[in-house]
Amino acid sequence: MAGLSYKIRPAEEEDLPVLMDLIKQLAVYEKLIDSYTATVELYRKYGFSEDAIFGALLVEKIAGEGPDYLGVALYYYTYSTFTGKPTLYLEDIFVPEEYRGRGIGTRLLVELAKIAVEKDCARMDWVVLDWNRPSWEFYRNLGAFPLDEWTVFRMLSPEIKKLAEKL
């Protein structure tokens, strides 16, 4: 598979089945498939409607054998009160295992960095599972660093609803 030829482009609504398939593969890889409850309707609403809150990049193979899509990155923006600028938040990035080590993940991050520069973002943030040491090393080699002094907190839908009902 030497000379793999591909392009990176923004995902479009017609790409929903591909986008969802790649994210489902990521859920399997991260051992989180039980958490995968997304639907085409939800992806359409939050990615490709007037309510859109995320963007996605797809890695599309130009020619050759194998799958037509080699990776995905899903992102959105948050706001840094300290810098006064937006942050590009990388929700997920995934390249199937058989295509890793070919520069695809790096190219996806380069494209995201270009978007962040264009949007005047002060930073890019994302989280990495503790056990995923290959990804830790990959990101460190690109100049990213872990925020050891920060802990991610999460509240799920039942607790959100319960909190919303409090006085």
Q: Which of 35, 49, 39, 5 is nearest to 19 (CA)?
A: 39
Is 139 annotated in the active site?
Answer: yes
Domain span at residue 79? 6-164
> Interior CA angle at 25 toward 24 and 26, to 5°?
85
pLDDT tens-digit profile of 87-132?
999 999 999 999 999 999 999 999 999 999 999 999 999 999 999 9
CATH code of residue 85: 3.40.630.30
What's the half-sphere exposure (Cβ side, CA atoms, 13 Å) at 62? 7
**Is residue 114, in this structure, part of any structural domain at all?**
yes
**Is residue 44, in this structure, part of any structural domain at all?**
yes
43, 75, 99, 139: which one is catalytic? 139
pLDDT at 2: 54
pLDDT tens-digit profile of 4-62?
789 999 999 999 999 999 999 999 999 999 999 999 999 999 999 999 999 999 999 98
**Is residue 95, in this structure, part of any structural domain at all?**
yes
pLDDT at 7: 95
Angle between helices 40-48 and 16-29 (to 10 degrees): 110
**Is residue 22, in this structure, part of any structural domain at all?**
yes
**Is residue 96, in this structure, part of any structural domain at all?**
yes
**Is residue 1, in this structure, part of any structural domain at all?**
no
Q: What gap in Å lies between CA 21 and CA 108, rounded to an integer? A: 18
pLDDT at 167: 72
Please count the structural domains in the chain. Answer: 1
pLDDT at 1: 45
Q: What gap in Å lies between CA 6 and CA 60, rounded to an integer? A: 5
**Is residue 55, in this structure, part of any structural domain at all?**
yes
pLDDT at 12: 97
**Is residue 10, in this structure, part of any structural domain at all?**
yes
